[in-house]
């Protein structure tokens, strides 16, 4: 992507020097490694993995849940590198670009806050931990990211590139849009009314967030901020965290009935739909 570092976003809450106490983790939140472990254990025992995964509003990793009492936050030693600070600058740029886009497209849009943390942090949905991966909490309208996730995305899942990193954030902001527009609440009501449809409803919600990420990609391309390989970076990242690919990595085969975020092909399809249309109305998955 074409971008220039500047003043960091007013919507960026940098908690990398802080640690939250251990407590009940955000319901439904698992990182890529944690998700693989849960899936492997569930399939080995013959247990429905959605018992552990919950509703999830993450990039492929869940999020959301009930608030808990967190106790005192403690500070720890804080060491960083020039490379990490460059990444923070880029994520800050992407955050502002995303929210500027949605302020133009969605009347009444309200900015979300991005929380950067290490290891653990308190959220309105419980204690967020790095193994959950990025997640969005509707209770406090904040996105939570431990920057170590990006190294995992690049090295373990083969999805490098700055637009791939921006796609992760754009997906979480997609969940913020769903909160603002009442979509998330409607999905929760439908899941409560029809528990058997819980996973199918979750998949539709996650694919819509992918499409919203693509809508932003379309408009940032119109502003001249995308380079030739950026779209492929984003599509590769979407494919890398499809439920079927993650299940194969768990070593127990593919079980579509347990999908919560969509297959690699579905995630690519809906991200591409947003990228090509630039129209939020094209993101209706039901």
**Average per-residue pLDDT in the chain?**
84
Give residue 158's pLDDT: 85
pLDDT for the residue numbered 110: 97
pLDDT tens column, 58-113: 666 443 333 333 444 555 567 899 999 999 999 999 999 999 999 999 999 999 99
Q: What is the DSSP string of 15-59?
A: ETTEEPPP-PBPTT---HHHHHHHHHHHHHHT--THHHH-S--BS
Confidence at residue 76, expressed as pLDDT on a 0 to 100 scale: 57
Q: What is the CA radius of gyration of the chain?
A: 18
pLDDT tens string 222-256: 999 999 899 999 999 999 889 888 888 887 788 88
Nearest to 86 by CA among 133, 144, 132, 147: 147
Confidence at residue 60, expressed as pLDDT on a 0 to 100 scale: 60
Q: Where are the beta strands (DSSP E) in the chain?
A: 12-15, 18-19, 74-75, 113-117, 120-123, 126-129, 135-137, 142-146
Residue with tokens 């849960």: 38
Q: With CA atoms as reference, report the closest residue to 138 among 27, 238, 257.
A: 27
CB-CB contact of 171 with 210 (8 Å): yes
More confident: 34 or 158: 158
Q: How far is residue 46's CA from residue 210's CA, in Å, rounded to a whole number?
A: 30
> What's the CA gap between 60 and 232, in Å, rounded?
19
pLDDT given at position 26: 58
Residue spans per domain, the chain = 12-283
Q: Write the DSSP symbol of residue 228.
A: T
């Amino acid at each position: 992507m074409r971008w220039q570092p500047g003043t960091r976003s007013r919507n960026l809450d940098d908690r990398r020097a802080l640690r939250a106490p251990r407590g009940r983790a955000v319901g439904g939140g698992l990182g890529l490694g944690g998700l693989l472990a849960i899936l492997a254990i569930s399939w080995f025992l013959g247990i429905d993995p959605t018992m552990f995964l919950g509703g999830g509003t993450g990039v492929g990793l869940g999020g959301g849940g009930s608030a808990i009492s967190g106790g005192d936050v403690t500070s720890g030693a804080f060491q960083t590198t020039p490379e990490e600070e460059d990444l923070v600058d880029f994520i800050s740029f992407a955050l502002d670009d995303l929210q500027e886009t949605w302020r133009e497209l969605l009347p009444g849009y309200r900015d979300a806050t991005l929380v950067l943390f290490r290891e653990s942090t308190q959220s309105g949905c419980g204690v967020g931990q790095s193994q959950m991966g990025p997640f969005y909490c509707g209770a406090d309208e904040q996105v939570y990211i431990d920057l170590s996730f990006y190294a995992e995305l690049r090295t373990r899942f083969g999805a490098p590139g700055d637009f791939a990193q921006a796609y992760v954030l754009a997906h979480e902001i997609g969940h913020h849009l769903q909160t603002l527009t009442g979509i998330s609440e409607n999905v929760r009501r439908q899941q409560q009314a029809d528990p058997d449809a819980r996973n199918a409803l979750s998949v539709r919600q996650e694919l819509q967030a992918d499409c919203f990420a693509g809508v932003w990609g379309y408009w940032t391309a119109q502003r001249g901020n995308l380079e030739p390989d950026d779209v492929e970076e984003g599509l590769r990242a979407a494919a890398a965290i499809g439920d079927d690919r993650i299940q194969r990595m768990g070593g127990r085969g593919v079980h579509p009935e347990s999908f919560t975020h969509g297959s690699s092909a579905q995630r690519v399809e809906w991200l591409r739909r947003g990228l090509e249309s630039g129209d939020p109305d094209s993101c209706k998955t039901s």
